[in-house]
Amino acid sequence: MQRVVCPGSFDPVTNGHLDIIGRAAGLYDEVVVAVLVNLTKRSLFTVDERLEMLGEVTRGYGNVRCERFHGLLVDFCAANGITAVVKGLRAVSDFEYEMQMAQMNYRLAKVETLFMTTNPLYSFLSSSLVKEIAKYGGDVSGLVPEYVLERLRSRLAEE
Supply the residues annotated as catalytic. 17, 41, 90, 127
Nearer to ligand PNS, 72 or 137 (CB): 72
Decide: is 118 part of the binding site for ligand PNS (CB under 6 A): no
| Residue closest to ligand PNS, measured at CB | 8
The CA distances from residue 66 to 41, 62, 140, in Å, are 20, 12, 24
Interface with ligand PNS includes 44 (CB under 6 A)?
A: no
Distance CA 79, CA 110 (A): 14
As measured in angstroms, the least distance from the Cβ of 122 to ligand PNS is: 14
| Residue in 5, 7, 14, 134 binding ligand PNS, rule: CB under 6 A | 7
Do residues 4 and 24 make contact, with C-beta atoms less than 8 angstroms apart?
yes
Residue 49 burial by CB count (10 A; 0-12/13-18/19+): exposed, middle or buried? middle
Q: Which residues lie near ligand PNS (CB under 6 A)?
A: 7-9, 36, 72-73, 101, 104-105
